[in-house]
Amino acid sequence: MLEQGQFWRNKDLRKHVAIIDGKVAPTIVLKNGTYLNVFTDEWVTANIWIYHERIVYVGDEMPKLLDDTEIVNCTGQYLVPGYIEPHAHPYQLFNPESLVQHVGEFGTTTLINDNLRLLTLYDKKKAFSIIENFQKIPVSMLWWARFDSQSMLRNEEAIFNTNDILSWLSHPAIVQGGELTSWPRLIDGDDRLLYWIQEAKRIHKRVEGHFPGASEKTLTKLQLLGVNGDHESMNGEDVLKRLQLGYHAALRHSSIRPDLENILQQLLEKGLKNFDALFFTTDGSTPSYTEYGMMNICIDIALKQGIPIIDAYKMASFNIAKYYRMDETFGSITPGRLAHINILYEETDPTPLSVLAKGTWLVKDGKEVEQATQIPWEQYETDKPFLKMELTEEDLQFSIPVGLKLINNVITNPYAVGIDITGAQLPTNTADAFLVLLDRHGKWRVNSVIHGFTEKLGGLCSSYSTTNDILLIGKKKIDMKLAFDRMQEIGGGIVLAHDGEIIFELPLTIEGVMSVEKMEKVIQADKTLTKLLQEAGFPYDDPVFTLFFLSSTHLPYIRITPEGIIDVIKRDIIVPANMR
């Protein structure tokens, strides 16, 4: 695994040294560029020699041997380390490769990724093969090892068991355990979770928390139990609390929590001058939020808020590499590091003119360089039982008096259903709609009502959800069935039906949760879906996250899960799932 740096073979290392002696030519020389030295916090003019994926020299000299060397004149341009996204969820309708091909063009050349989809969709052998295939692409892909599902799965013990968790933790592409959404279990005495955390610490890997609104006492307990960082600060006070307790904190700018501007304002108002334990994250935003990039957007916000220029770039590169103990390979423009380099017009404009990832041009002089697809998703195809299901009349029977009330994009409260829900459709003068979570294997279903999602949409079917199960929402059962049948025909995805017609479809043919299309097409589909749902009465701005989080038990207050409808705080099953 080249990503960890120590896996260059001896003959490669000898060749790198031979370049310095003038016996081998570098592949690229970036001549006379002004680069950011993150160790001395200064801009330095130098020549940078690159041999394939590695930086081999930074200094005043030019190579003695230049056979077939590409020389790029960088006079007047600014070179910064490739940006790192430390907390990526790379499956938000897009697939991980289409995401990195897109954001790489804007300078984010390393992603540290959630492994949840790989863990729940594929067996370990397939999942590790996918991870290893990602070594073939220029953007570096590193991963987490999840300790929990952030829902209530029927097969949780089969997926999250000690043997498999330790196998994931020991994989060289895994750099942390977490994110830890099940932290209440840890505090309440779950020693198996504690064992996994201690094993991560034993092999010098970080543990990431998920602690929105946590008190000082709770944060202290979790620090004592081994957690190193948290990305859930919602304001400057939250950030300072974490820093004072010794945490590293990722400052979030995501589609459901665009907090970065306010957090930075508050930190500067409070007089914070040391930013070494801070970095940025977009926290798995939905497609349209990444239209113009990822980390470059965060750096731009920081610069406009008055964060010192060098600190802003380090918060998207070196700070992250150092935290994860991989600064010998990532996060700086120095000899021995991977050649992840962004070339800027101006030091105050973080969107690059040119981008190198592992010494490969992703963008050159403002022009995208086409990258070949390397991940053969079709080879990993698993059986999709939801493509063989028949939606029956019994599946669409509703009678329970408790439903979910949507109060923003992702939070749901319990509410007493006040209308007759036993008929074939619900009235359009209310915000109530039928809601079903259907097992992708056809073994169970949970039927309820959701308030606040739509006022008039006939039917929605989505094979995209936290648990990889099927969501059905709508006013008319006949439209819900039409959407379900069309979802099956296209191989999985999100489908809207209204008055007997299909009005939108987004195929998600990779296991029913990811698109094979380029990001540009997925971004446009995301925008169209949002527009149609808002026209049908959806009052918020990120319905993709709404669909995704309806089953997520790390959020309050009531959720629809494979076990049934759950009171998240009490961990009680209010309404159990029905077997089919």
Three-state DSSP at 416 gives strand
Asked if 258 contacts 234 with a C-beta cutoff of 8 angstroms, the reply is: no
For residue range 86-103, list pLDDT tens digits in order: 999 999 999 999 999 999
Query: pTM, whole model, 2 decimals?
Result: 0.97
Place of tokens 């949002």: 530
For residue range 494-520, list pLDDT tens digits in order: 999 999 999 999 999 999 999 999 999
For residue range 316-327, list pLDDT tens digits in order: 999 999 999 999
Residue 240: pLDDT above 80? yes
List C-alpha distances in Å: 486 to 390, 480, 494, 495, 529: 12, 10, 9, 7, 16
For residue range 411-463, list pLDDT tens digits in order: 999 999 999 999 999 999 899 999 999 999 999 999 999 999 999 999 999 99
Residue 3's pLDDT is 52
Cα(146)–Cα(143) distance, rounded to whole angstroms? 9
Confidence bin at 372 (pLDDT 50/70/90): confident
| Residue whose C-alpha is closest to residue 75's, from 47, 106, 50, 49 | 47
Residue 5: pLDDT above 50? no
DSSP conformation class of 274: -
Residue 179's pLDDT is 97
In this structure, what are the phi and psi dihedrals at residue 422, rounded to the nearest 5 degrees? -95, -5
For the CA atoms of 16, 17, 22, 25, what is the dihedral angle to 10 degrees? Answer: 0
* 206-209/174-180 β-pairing: parallel
Who wins on pLDDT, 16 or 2? 16
Average pLDDT for the chain? 96
Neighbouring CB atoms inside 10 A of 266's CB total 18
| Residue whose C-alpha is closest to residue 112's, from 316, 301, 300 | 316
Cβ-based neighbours of 183, under 8 Å, separated by 6 or more: 209, 210, 211, 222, 227
For residue range 120-163, list pLDDT tens digits in order: 999 999 999 999 999 999 999 999 999 999 998 988 889 999 99
Alpha carbon of residue 517 to chain centroid:
18
The neighbouring-strand residues paired with 356 are 341, 361
Residue 377: pLDDT above 90? yes
Residue 373's pLDDT is 86
For residue range 535-553, list pLDDT tens digits in order: 999 999 999 999 999 999 9
- Helix, strand, coil share of the chain (percent; to 5): 30, 30, 40
Tokens of 526: 């995301």
For residue range 260-276, list pLDDT tens digits in order: 999 999 999 999 999 99
Query: Mean pLDDT across the stretch 43-47?
Result: 98
Residue 279: pLDDT above 70? yes
Burial of residue 429 (CB within 10 Å: 0-12, 13-18, 19+) is exposed
Confidence bin at 259 (pLDDT 50/70/90): very high
Query: Mean pLDDT across the stretch 335-347?
Result: 97
Residue 429's pLDDT is 82
The neighbouring-strand residues paired with 36 are 43
Neighbouring CB atoms inside 10 A of 308's CB total 13
**Burial track 453-470 (b if 16+ CB lie within 10 A, e otherwise):** bbbbbbbbbbbbbbbbbb
Cα(122)–Cα(427) distance, rounded to whole angstroms? 41
Who wins on pLDDT, 157 or 314? 314
Residue 1's pLDDT is 47
Query: Mean pLDDT across the stretch 308-315?
Result: 98
Three-state DSSP at 219 gives helix
Residue 571's pLDDT is 87
Asked if 546 contacts 540 with a C-beta cutoff of 8 angstroms, the reply is: yes
Confidence bin at 6 (pLDDT 50/70/90): low
Query: Mean pLDDT across the stretch 466-488?
Result: 98
Residue 4: pLDDT above 80? no
Residue 2: pLDDT above 70? no
**Lowest-confidence segment of 115-119, 153-157, 215-219 by average pLDDT:** 153-157
Confidence bin at 81 (pLDDT 50/70/90): very high
Query: Mean pLDDT across the stretch 188-200?
Result: 97
Query: Mean pLDDT across the stretch 551-569?
Result: 94
Neighbouring CB atoms inside 10 A of 297's CB total 23
For the CA atoms of 389, 393, 397, 403, what is the dihedral angle to 10 degrees? Answer: 40
Residue 383's pLDDT is 85
Query: Mean pLDDT across the stretch 223-247?
Result: 97
Q: Give the chain's radius of gyration (CA, Å).
A: 25
